[in-house]
Structure 1
Amino acid sequence: MKSENKILKVFLCLLIVLSTRVNAKEIINIKPTNGDVTTLVRNAIENTKDKDIKLVFEKGTYQFLPDYAKEQFSFVTNHGNGLKKIIFLFQDLNSVEIEGNGSEFIFHGHTAPFQFLNCNHISVKNITIDWDVPFSFQGDVTATNSEEKWIEIKPYTKGYSWKLQRGRIYFPNIDNFHFASLGSTLTFDKDTKQVAYGALDFSLRPSKVEKRPNGILRIYDEHIRKYPEVGVVIHSKGPHEENRYAPAFQTKNSSNAVFDNVTIHHALGMGFLFERTDGIQILNSGIYIKEGSDRAISTIADATHFANCKGGVLIENCRFEGMLDDGTNVHGTYVEVNKIINKNTVRVLLKHFEQTGFEFAGKGDEVWFIKTPNPDRGEVAVVSNVKYVNEYYSDITFSKEVPSDLKTGDILENKTWNPVFTMRGCTIRDHRARNIIIKTPLKIIIEDNDLSSMMSSIMLRGESYFWYESGSVEDVVIRNNRFKHVAYGGASEHAVLKVSPRLGKTFNQSALYDRNIVFENNTIETFDNRIIWADRLDGLIVKGNTIKQTTTEKPQFPNAPLFELINCNNVEITKNRYEGNVTNYFKVDKTSAKTLKVKRNKGFKYKK
């Protein structure tokens, strides 16, 4: 009888993947099993004969190792391009559905969990993603010495992977991989897991590391800008050029993507990355540290990131915490005119090292020409052909002649691939950088969210150099949000709302750039002064907001104003209420003062 039961058990394990067809859709049912499930999932996907598939996972825990993953070269914007080990690769499908039924997916080592490439309908529901061992090195700071240039830490060991060898820390020390140095480093409050007050980003490249008594490591580095406080948690993620392997979910050249009740506790890059995707919803989902974990961070980079997407982008009822970059970043991409080949064709260059290989434009796209020194979007032309030269250069041919005054060094922006963006009912906090950084000329609505940020909570910043993330906004509503404890990092000054284009030297640095922003009926409770900081903005209404200065921290910039306006036009500040001790309410230059209207506010006044 025992022998028969054993045979039956083995037989059932071999049948953990079952495939059926319902209404011309192939449904693949997957059951939990011990060990690596990568091969089973890969075979199930690769052997499907339909363009419409659905994977249904029976509730359980599934482990995925990179050993037998699909290997494919991938261009991954804002990450490192290269050969990726992909667990779930969906390519050229009409529809893909994944029903997790509350399952937990545990990944190991260098893996790219999900890629959706050229898929028309995507639905992912009810799964949680984590790594067995994070790509992190962290410890508690026990002592510092700025004269001798060292810090002492007690590194975490249980659940982490690292070793000390010949005066050097090797981490994550997984599958024969380790980073060249500790690299990008940040400190966190041990109790709240919030980025430590006044913390700075810095890079740790120790000259040597010594083992001390009681499990302590002494790290020598003469380039530390600011020594952390004793008692904080210090976290390193490797050098900037190496530490973004892949997002948990990459969706590219696709449409109609819905992620519902998806939780990400760790990823080797961003949580959700979308490139040239039409129509996106992230609902009832989260990126945050698992309950009870001693980890300081969730994802290595942004929670969500959207590059040259279009249609509607909706993020609703989500929770983003602990990531090492923005809560969301929405942007297009500027490319630089490298060469004018003929009257209809230009060669363009992708400028940032993490944008190489990005598809800036395709046939039928409309493109704006932006000619220095004027940053305004100029003439529009339709793309008739794109010739890929290499990962840096492409030749774009238009259906009509390019402007006669177009020159090398000017930039192009894709008009077609811009989304309408809505975020509501979300909580974003306890992470590096900004809650929301956004650039799209179409409608933006940010409402009913709870926001707390290390840097500016909401930043509107098109950049025609370094990141080359386009572009200016033209229709923004920020209403009924609750901002609490904002801009507590120590790198530089920030604000609750900061509008600050960053344009190259060849552009007019005083020309208006962003337009038409409404900031109304928000509640702000924070310790520092800056609320609105706007530069080169045409059209701003600040109305009906309640601002309360707290005593949770000492102001880092006590002389900063509540409102600062630089080269702005048509700003109205009305019916707001302020409670606090700031007396430096306004800093307004002559240009902005000409059209500024301030009336019916309580707790502060504007003196011309």
Structure 2
Amino acid sequence: MIYKGFLVVIAMWITGHHMGHARDKIVNVTDFGAFPDDSKCDINAIKQALEHAKTVGAKALVFEAGTYDLFVGDVTKNTAIEVTKLHDFTMRGSKDSEGNPATTFLRHYDFRNDMYGKPILSVRECNNFRLQHVIFDNAPRYSTAGEVIANDGQSVTVKIFEGNPVIDGTLFFTSNIWDLSTKTLKKAESPTYGGDVYKKKEEYTWHVEGDPAERIMKLNSPTVASGVEVGEGLSWHFSYKGVQVNFYGCHDLFVENVWTYNAIGFCMQAQACENITAGKIKIMAPDNQLAVGSRDGWKLYACRGKIVMDELYMEGVRWDGQNVHGSFLSPYRVINKNTIWLKKKKGAILPIPEGSKIGFWNGREEVLCTVRKSVIRPIENKGGFLLTFEENIPDFVTDKTLCQIYGWNIDHYALSNSEFRNIAGSASLIRNTDVTIVNNTFDHIMYPAIMIGAAINEGEGVVPKNVRIENNRISHSGWMARYGITGAIGIRNQEKGEKLVFFDKDKAAAKLKKKSPPLTNIQIIGNTIMYGEKGIVASGTLDLLIKGNVFRQVEETIVADRKSNPGMLVTGNE
């Protein structure tokens, strides 16, 4: 009997041990005091849960359905949730009966104009990390919208829609005009952008008229009054700076069923990440909201590996839906036959991986060198890199040579089965090699919906090659120029000396003669393009294929001459 009792005790201990071990693998934030819908700040409880998960080697942190309140105070200083070096890990919200995310991270903050928002969620150097079933939002939302009810030529009066903030003294950043009958962007230029607001700060400041409960606001701006009519919609943001969800240095990143209702700055950004798989990402304007964020939907900067974007939905962002690029460098000093000091024009300074390639352009020829050693060494308060190569540096290299960094270039980027609407920029802005954009829908995109080309003057690359654009449907897009061209699909590099968006028509001919490296092997096949002035516009390509595309109510279907596109084949379009 004693022996049997001993066995029972051992069995119970083993069972309890395994149950406890299994529980440790999944951590619930409620066990640390984070409860949804209680209006209490959950930041510390979530932090404790993450620390516990790291300590016990847990595989998941789970959240119940409902709203988790994140009171950050000064949004320019405080990140709500930080995850660092937590590998093979999942942050998982709950789903509703239809499979939509049912967990909301709601950031509360001390309001002021023109803030650079730090992230709600920052994920750094986490390998095999998953984020699932979460909605990101702000209280108050950092944008507003309403209907123009009066315009006397000197000022504009707007009635703010229910559910949108009514805040006196807000600045008129990244604004847009809307056709309220269709809830689509008006085919006009944005009234304001970012830096231009500072030049006319008093003119671009909104004021509440009378009782705030009446939701009436007025802007004393003849400039805006000249471009908007009574009955149209106006949306604007209170800043254009910040990143709301940031992934940095993550390998094998999975993002699934994640939505954004409102953002301060970029909705999402991935920097220096390798291999990203994303699906069912939604950036959307709920209720009576028109706009979502003042910058890109999801920016991919200096990423590598394989990127798969499937079933995205993006609307209401002021710049680009998805912006994919690395950076160019230029020679500062050749140290010896194998070592060179390169400088970066602007932006984040990220490591250049050893073993990766650097491309040195000489006209239409590119010579590749393999990085043996890479050291970050600033130059005159700007980014700099001291690189040693396996091979000799080409003899033609001067301080004007364009240098491509393939360690900041995605091996293959795929965008499929996605929808982009009402974007005051491009929907798909690509400065990367080896790209497929297939089976997507684009509607009311201000600049070319799909824009392929490096930004030489901005220092953003690489020069695209091996790009396939197939079976997409594009309508009402490309009424404003980017890199000097309008149209539904644009293929062209921005040349040195040209502005990013605007184009000086008086100097257009001279600028078009400049020769950046060619965009090689671009294939535009089987797309349907409708309702626009121009369809496909291309310049500066090599071996361009335009085949089997269908145009409906497009004034100029294909704008691409053979002189600037040698090797071009145009066939079977209608």
Q: TM-score range, shorter-chain basis?
A: 0.7 to 0.9
Correspondence 1:177-188 to 2 at 5 A:
181-188=171-178
- Whether 1:421 and 2:416 are equivalent positions in the alignment is no
2:487/2:534 contact within 8 Å kept: yes
Pick aligned residue for 1:114 from 121, 133, 153: 121
**Which one is further off, 508-517 or 251-260?**
508-517
Return the offset for 1:446: 1.2
Could you tell me how far apart the structure 2 residues matched to 1:572 and 1:471 are? 24
SS for the counterpart of 1:86 is coil
Match of residue 317, structure 2, among 314, 323, 332: 323
The residue type equivalent to 1:280 in the other structure is: I
Q: In 2, distance between residues paired with 1:97 and 1:418?
A: 27
Could you say if the C-alpha distance between residues 156 and 342 of structure 1 is closer, same or farther in structure 2, counting changes exceeding 3 Å?
farther
**Does the 8 Å CA contact 1:152/1:217 hold for their aligned counterparts?**
yes
The one-letter amino acid paired with 1:454 is M
> Which range moved further: 251-260 or 468-477?
468-477
**How far did residue 279 of structure 1 move?**
0.6
Shift of 1:67: 3.9
Of 50, 56, 63 in structure 2, the residue corresponding to residue 57 of structure 1 is 63
Inter-CA distance 194–350: structure 2 relative to 1 (3 Å threshold): farther
**1:337–1:360 distance in 2 versus 1, CA, 3 Å:** farther
CA contact (8 A) 1:122 1:257 kept: yes
Query: In the TM superposition, what is the alpha-carbon distance from 1:155 to its structure 2 partner?
Result: 4.1
Query: Is structure 2 residue 472 aligned with structure 1 residue 481?
Result: yes
Unmatched 5+ stretches in structure 2: 1-18, 95-101, 110-116, 499-510
Q: Distance in 1 between matches of 2:56 and 2:334?
A: 45
Q: Quote how far apart the aligned CAs of 1:534 are.
A: 0.6
The residue aligned with 2:572 is 575
Matching residue within 88, 110, 114 for 1:95: 88
One-letter code of the match for 2:124? L
Q: In structure 1, how many angstroms separate the alpha carbons of the residues matched to 2:280 and 2:217? A: 41
2:155 to 146, 150, 157: 150
Distance in 1 (alpha carbons) for counterparts of 2:225 and 2:375: 46
Report the equivalent of 2:263: 267
CA change 1:474–1:68 in 2 (3 A) is closer
Paired position in structure 2 for 1:194: 184
Looking at structure 2, the residues matched to 445 and 379 of structure 1 have their Cα atoms a distance apart, in angstroms, of 24
Contact 2:167 2:208 in 1 (8 A): no
TM-score normalized by the length of structure 2 = 0.80
Identity %: 17
Q: 1:361 to 1:108 in 2, by over 3 A?
A: same
2:35 to 15, 32, 35: 32
Residues 488/502 of structure 1: CA separation in 2 closer, same or farther (3 Å cut): closer
Query: How many Å apart are 1:287 and its aligned residue?
Result: 0.8
Would the aligned equivalents of 1:250 and 1:273 in 2 still touch at CA under 8 Å? Answer: yes
Residues 1:141 and 2:141 are matched in the alignment: no
Does residue 308 of structure 1 match 2:302?
Answer: yes
Task: In structure 1, give the amino acid aligned to 2:571.
Answer: T
**Structure 1: how far apart are the matches of 2:457 and 2:57?**
41
Given that 1:338 and 1:409 are in contact with CA atoms closer than 8 Å, whether structure 2 keeps it comes out as: no
Q: How far apart, in 1, do the equivalents of 2:152 and 2:336 lie?
A: 62
- The verdict on how the C-alpha distance between 1:132 and 1:421 changes in structure 2, with shifts beyond 3 A counting, is same
SS at match of 2:534: coil
Q: Give the residue type in structure 2 aligned to 1:283.
A: G
Q: Deviations 1:281-300 (Å, cap 9, x if unpaired)?
A: 1112211112xx21111122
Pick aligned residue for 1:207 from 181, 186, 202: 202
Match of 2:529 in 1: 524
Q: Read off the aligned partner of 1:130 and give its amino acid letter.
A: D
CA distance in 1, matches of 2:530, 2:396: 50
SS of the residue corresponding to residue 320 of structure 2 reads coil
Report what 1:393 is aligned to: 383
From the superposition, tell whether residues 54 and 471 of structure 1 become closer, same or farther in structure 2 (CA, over 3 Å). Answer: same
CA shift at 1:225, angstroms? 9.4
2:227 corresponds in structure 1 to: 227
Amino acid at match of 1:63: D
**Contact 1:123 / 1:259 at 8 angstroms: preserved in 2?**
yes
- CA shift in 2, pair 1:341/1:46, >3 Å: farther
Q: Say if 1:427 and 1:450, in contact at 8 Å, map to a contact too.
A: yes
Count of aligned pairs: 507
Letter in 2 for 1:268: I
Distance 1:266 1:21 in 2: 39
Q: Using the alignment, how far apart are the partners of 1:20 and 1:37 within structure 2?
A: 25
Say which SS state the counterpart of residue 570 (structure 1) adopts: coil
Residue pair 1:512, 1:538 contacting (<8 A) in 2 also: no
For the pair 1:471 / 2:475, whether they are aligned, the reply is no
Structure 2 distance, partners of 1:548, 1:482, is: 11
1:6-45 map, 5 Å: 21-22=21-22, 25=25, 27-30=27-30, 32-33=35-36, 34=38, 35-45=40-50
Report if the CA contact (8 A) 1:39-1:68 is conserved: no
Cα deviations across residues 306-350 of structure 1 (Å, max 9, x unaligned)?
112111111111211111121211112112323344544433333
For 1:378, which of 342, 367, 370 is the aligned residue?
367
The residue identity in structure 1 corresponding to 2:552 is K
- 1:439 to partner: Cα distance: 1.9
Is the alpha carbon distance of 1:457 and 1:22 closer, same or farther for their aligned partners in structure 2, counting shifts above 3 Å? same
Q: What secondary structure does 1:46 align onto?
A: helix
Quote the Cα distance in structure 1 between the aligned partners of 2:402 and 2:541.
21
- Displacement of 1:144: 3.1
Q: Which moves more between the two structures, 154-163 or 278-287?
A: 154-163
Residue 149 (structure 2) pairs with residue 125 (structure 1): no
Select the structure that is richer in helix.
2
For 1:342-361, list aligned pairs within 5 A.
342-352=336-346, 355=347, 357-359=348-350, 361=352
* 1:433-477 deviation line (CA, Å, top 9, x unaligned): 1111112222x11111111222211111101112x1112222122
Deviation string, structure 1 residues 247-271 (Cα, Å, up to 9, x no partner)? 3x21111111111111111111222
Q: Which runs of 5+ in 1 are unaligned?
A: 1-18, 70-82, 164-168, 172-180, 551-557, 578-608
Of 545, 548, 551, which residue of structure 2 is paired with 1:547?
Answer: 551
| Deviations, residues 456-506 of structure 1 (Å, cap 9, x unaligned) | 11111101112x111222212211222222224589851121111112159
Give 1:514's aligned amino acid.
Answer: L
